[in-house]
């Protein structure tokens, strides 16, 4: 199903394919990785934008399965500094590797790469557009903690305008019609109209509110995001909203017993360190799921699993 496919947006992967990746990741996590699955394969890692978890978990996934990684983190030592175009860079790397993992600060850049490359291209985050592999991690965390992806109430909180993570997650959750989405954001950071239209056209129940307090007692999952300073052109606008939603231990006193907090990380102000000790905190466990999820995705895209 997934063999040879690009993954540029979460829309590129069907519900059946999503569930296959989740099932394979669970198998890897339980029984270990197929150590020779990627033996002889080289994966291109093109990170035009800083990353810790996404880059390292992808590289770890490749190495766990016996593959190699070739690429860069930052562009200072590449020919991009000499004026080489994105398309030419991708064409060159495409001739060296078996698949390309790419992060870029500009929305749409990964789609351009996918058009140019002959090998599969996987989006590791492009600007404020999409982050499909983080969404697979989100779904993995939700399924593990709740035992299902159906019949839940999931609150997406914070920067819903510029946040590529909530964009992809809201679309993915539309596969599960009995799961309610609550979008919590100030007016200036509301979900973009294209995402809103996509989800509502699927007939999904969505509630949009400004206050976080009212969702804590009803949510099964609190999907937090940071307000991303790097996405703002106006520093004054960022200062107005950067502290919009700060989750404290006191606020969690009314949470459902099963409620878990997920976050793509890094965090800043929105989740103070003291929340880490709460039984509701799940963001570090979620981050660990990046290796089995990305290993499963790579193995399927490269045709290493039946």
Please provide residue 234's backbone torsions phi and psi, each rounded to the nearest 5 degrees.
-105, 110
The answer to whether 7 touches 277, Cβ cutoff 8 Å, is no
Q: Which residues contact 278 (CB under 8 A, 6 or more apart)?
A: 249, 252, 261
Predicted TM-score (pTM) of this structure: 0.93
Q: 268: pLDDT confidence band, cut at 50, 70 and 90? A: confident
Catalytic residue among 81, 82, 118, 306: 82
Q: Which 3 state secondary structure label does DSSP give 156?
A: strand
Q: Tell me the per-residue pLDDT of 153-197, one tens digit each, with 9 for 90 and over.
A: 999 999 898 888 999 999 999 999 999 999 999 888 899 999 999
Residue 242 annotated in active site: no
Catalytic residue among 54, 89, 119, 225: 54
The answer to whether 178 touches 150, Cβ cutoff 8 Å, is yes
Q: Tell me the per-residue pLDDT of 139-152, one tens digit each, with 9 for 90 and over.
A: 999 999 999 999 99
Q: What is the pLDDT of residue 29?
A: 95
Residue 190 annotated in active site: no
Q: What is the pLDDT of residue 33?
A: 95
Catalytic residue among 5, 53, 91, 267: 53
Q: 306: pLDDT confidence band, cut at 50, 70 and 90? A: low
- Residue of 128 and 152 predicted with greater confidence: 152
Residue 226 annotated in active site: no
Catalytic residue among 9, 24, 89, 103: 103
Question: Average per-residue pLDDT in the chain?
Answer: 92
Mean pLDDT of 34-47: 95
Please provide residue 204's backbone torsions phi and psi, each rounded to the nearest 5 degrees.
-85, 140
Residue 234 has pLDDT above 70, yes or no: no
Q: What is the pLDDT of residue 267?
A: 87
Q: What is the pLDDT of residue 237?
A: 66
Catalytic residue among 55, 131, 167, 263: 131
Angle at 273 between CA 271 and CA 277, to 5 degrees: 105
Residue 54 annotated in active site: yes
Q: What is the pLDDT of residue 7?
A: 97
Domains and CATH numbers, the chain: 10-130+289-301 (3.40.50.1370), 132-287 (3.40.50.1370)
Q: What is the pLDDT of residue 218?
A: 96
């Amino acid at each position: 199903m997934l063999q040879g496919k690009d993954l540029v947006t979460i829309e590129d992967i069907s519900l059946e394919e999503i569930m296959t990746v989740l099932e394979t990741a669970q198998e890897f996590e339980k029984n270990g990785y197929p150590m020779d699955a990627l033996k002889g394969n080289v994966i291109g890692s093109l990170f035009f934008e800083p990353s810790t978890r996404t880059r390292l978990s992808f590289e770890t996934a490749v190495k766990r399965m016996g593959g190699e990684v070739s690429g860069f983190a930052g562009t200072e030592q590449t020919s991009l500094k000499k004026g080489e175009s994105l398309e030419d860079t991708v064409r060159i790397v495409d001739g060296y590797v078996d698949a390309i993992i790419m992060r870029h600060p500009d929305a749409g850049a990964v789609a351009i790469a996918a058009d140019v490359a002959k090998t599969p291209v996987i989006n590791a985050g492009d600007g404020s557009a999409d982050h499909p592999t983080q969404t697979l991690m989100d779904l993995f965390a939700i399924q593990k903690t709740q035992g299902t992806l159906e019949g839940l109430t999931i609150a997406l909180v914070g920067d819903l305008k510029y946040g590529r993570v909530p964009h992809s997650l809201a679309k993915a959750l539309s596969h599960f019609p009995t799961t309610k989405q609550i979008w919590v954001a100030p007016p200036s950071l509301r979900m973009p109209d294209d995402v809103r239209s996509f989800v509502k056209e699927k007939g999904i129940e969505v509630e949009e509110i400004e206050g976080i307090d009212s969702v804590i007692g009803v949510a099964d999952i609190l999907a937090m995001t940071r307000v991303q300073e790097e996405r703002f052109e106006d520093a004054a606008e960022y200062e107005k909203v950067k502290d919009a939603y700060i989750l404290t231990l006191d606020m969690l006193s009314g949470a459902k017993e099963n409620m878990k907090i997920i976050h793509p990380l890094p965090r800043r102000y929105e989740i103070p360190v003291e929340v880490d000790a709460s039984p509701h905190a799940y963001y570090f466990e979620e981050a660990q799921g990046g290796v089995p999820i990305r290993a499963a995705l790579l193995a399927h895209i490269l045709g290493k699993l039946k």
